[in-house]
Structure 1
Amino acid sequence: MTAFARIFLLGKYRDSSALPALAQLAEALRSWGCDLRIDARYREHFPNLPVFSSLNEATPQDLVIALGGDGTLLSSARELAGRNVPILGINLGRLGFLADISLQDIARTLPAILQGDYRKEKRSVLRAELWREGARVGAGLALNEVFVHKGCGESMIELQVQLGGKQLYTERADGLILSTPTGSTAYALSAGGPILTPELSALLLVPICPHTLSTRPIVLPDHLPLRFRLSAARHPAALSLDSHNSFPMVAGDEIHVQRADCDAVFLHPREQDFFAILRDKLHWAEPPGED
């Protein structure tokens, strides 16, 4: 008997390396007496297992286990945002800030989680809308970041940024990243932004190659809406949400962003520590190299 009514198991689709891992995990879950459902896209590989066609079938009493990298976990979290369905990540990727359990550790960590011994964490989600000439032409959710960039053009774009209805600045740059604390260890970190701990009610605004060298990343409160206006662009720009949904932009377009009225729910081993993950993934604990 487990603490969850059903287990929904999915993996990174079209990744052949995921199949053996899925088989290993499915066998372990069944041996522990779980009521298991597997992603219908893998139906032919697991003919004896019941399948699910959509995560819409999952309820708050169930558990979704996503096997892959952080991208697989982000995709599942966007689909489940606001439904209070917990997600657990098994890492097959490289860094795995969200998918923090390795395949080698499932025998040690999963039984306790399945019995209800875990740490639950809620992560904030952003909702972004793209407006053109008074009409909404695109919308979506982002767990990591909302990214406005120059697209395929060589020239910088110019963006006017407002926070809570007040002008923040106008910046010419290759782009701007608006990141959640979750996304602060993703693209925003590569672009020179700081790391935000997950429980902070904050957002991070990071310019990409700004024309004004004094423009630096800034931490903002997440309860105020933001508005970006593309005031100048020689070529079509683009809006990207978690590097997943992408929308073309032209001069005059506006992006309205605010914290969504829903969260993503993740489960972690009880002993999991955010700073231990940073030390491990970013090699903070490595001894200095020898000459």
Structure 2
Amino acid sequence: MERAFQRVVLVGKYRDPSVLPGLRRLRALLAELGVATIIECQSAAQLESDMELPQGAFDALSPDGDLIIALGGDGTILGTARQAAGSGVPILGVNQGRLGFLADISIHDIEKTLPPILAGHYQRDARSVLQAQLWRAGQCLQSGIAINEVLVHKGCCETMIELQVHIDGQFIYTQRADGLIVATPTGSTAYALSAGGPIVSPQLPAMVLVPICPHTLNARPLTIADQVSVQIDLIAGRQPAALSLDSHDTFPLQPGDTIRIHRSTCDAVFIHPEDEDFYQILRRKLHWAALPGED
């Protein structure tokens, strides 16, 4: 069989031994198909795997012939995507989590779904990535990327925070709230959706600003083009807060801090089965086709 991918890198949910049976199942299938297979270094170390596979790091992968298969839930896929972003190496998410909008293949169907993908029958899906910078007193203290969202929130404080928002230098509003989510289309089905934001097709070049429990009845989510720059200022004299990227990297904020957000020059690349589509995933995950009273 002619293959689109010559080597597969396995990634499992860190510190979760429940993924080991699924990883062994993948290893056995890939061996049967004659595909060279390695396991990502951190996965091997943290899972203490006995799979006896060669180990490899993300920075040693090539977009020409390599495929990452990440087994877990959306958190595992996001963590993998952050590390692989910009490399051009595609990621196939295999679901062993709960809801899962990115991991759209079940481990229970892998023997049926994986061989056509390895043969080149798949969809390539490039997703936008956000770049966020934390500025304090004229210095950039932190910089990082987010696949889902950049979140400015009240952290452990009991009181709301006060934010001032500019888009491309133009003043938009001052907001008292528990926080503000700046989400990609990918992140529109994550925290932003729970906070009342819209679902945005991943094909749209957009960002969504979603206030969290705003102290006003006229605050609404705002969808903007992703070519703009968003600036969030934590107003001086108020409580400290925190900046979170995909709920993974978190940095403490002080009054007077500025967060600058724009679309990154790199994308996160995913692949899906040929017959998969975004709206099919929504119907399945959100039970849009179910009648009232049905599961």
TM-score range, shorter chain: over 0.9
- Check conservation: 2:188, 2:208, Cα contact below 8 A: yes
Which of 60, 82, 94 lines up with 1:90 in the alignment? 94
Unaligned runs of 5+ in 2: none
- Check conservation: 2:133, 2:259, Cα contact below 8 A: yes
Once residues 42 and 169 of structure 1 are traced to their aligned partners in structure 2, the CA distance between those partners, rounded to angstroms, is 47
Once residues 198 and 232 of structure 1 are traced to their aligned partners in structure 2, the CA distance between those partners, rounded to angstroms, is 36
Once residues 13 and 250 of structure 1 are traced to their aligned partners in structure 2, the CA distance between those partners, rounded to angstroms, is 32
Q: Residue 249 in 1 paired to residue 253 in 2?
A: yes
- Check conservation: 1:125, 1:264, Cα contact below 8 A: yes
SS of 1:189 mapped into structure 2 = helix
Once residues 213 and 29 of structure 2 are traced to their aligned partners in structure 1, the CA distance between those partners, rounded to angstroms, is 48
Once residues 82 and 131 of structure 1 are traced to their aligned partners in structure 2, the CA distance between those partners, rounded to angstroms, is 24
Once residues 26 and 2 of structure 1 are traced to their aligned partners in structure 2, the CA distance between those partners, rounded to angstroms, is 17
- Check conservation: 2:162, 2:238, Cα contact below 8 A: no
Unaligned runs of 5+ in 1: none
Once residues 289 and 110 of structure 2 are traced to their aligned partners in structure 1, the CA distance between those partners, rounded to angstroms, is 24
- Check conservation: 2:24, 2:51, Cα contact below 8 A: no
1:281 shift after superposition: 0.6
Q: How does 1:85-164 map to 2 (within 5 A)?
A: 85-164=89-168
1:13 shift after superposition: 1.4
CA RMSD after TM alignment: 1.3
Aligned equivalent of 1:240:
244
CA offset digits 1:176-209 (Å, max 9, x no partner): 0000000000000000011001100010000011
Q: Residue 38 in 1 paired to residue 39 in 2?
A: yes
**What is the TM-score with the length of structure 1 in the denominator?**
0.96
Q: How does 1:1-291 map to 2 (within 5 A)?
A: 1-40=2-41, 41-42=43-44, 45-52=49-56, 54-61=57-64, 62-232=66-236, 234-289=238-293
CA offset digits 1:246-288 (Å, max 9, x no partner): 0100110000100001101100000001111111111111111
Identical positions, percent: 57
- Check conservation: 2:67, 2:91, Cα contact below 8 A: yes
Q: 1:233 to 1:72 in 2, by over 3 A?
A: farther
**What is the TM-score with the length of structure 2 in the denominator?**
0.95
- Check conservation: 1:159, 1:232, Cα contact below 8 A: no
One-letter amino acid of the structure 2 residue matched with residue 127 of structure 1: Q
1:47 shift after superposition: 5.0
- Which deviates more, 230-239 or 277-286? 230-239
- Check conservation: 1:230, 1:254, Cα contact below 8 A: yes
Instruction: Report how many aligned residue pairs link the two structures.
Output: 289
SS of 2:5 mapped into structure 1 = coil
1:45 shift after superposition: 2.9
1:235 shift after superposition: 3.0
Q: 1:233 to 1:98 in 2, by over 3 A?
A: farther
Once residues 233 and 149 of structure 1 are traced to their aligned partners in structure 2, the CA distance between those partners, rounded to angstroms, is 16
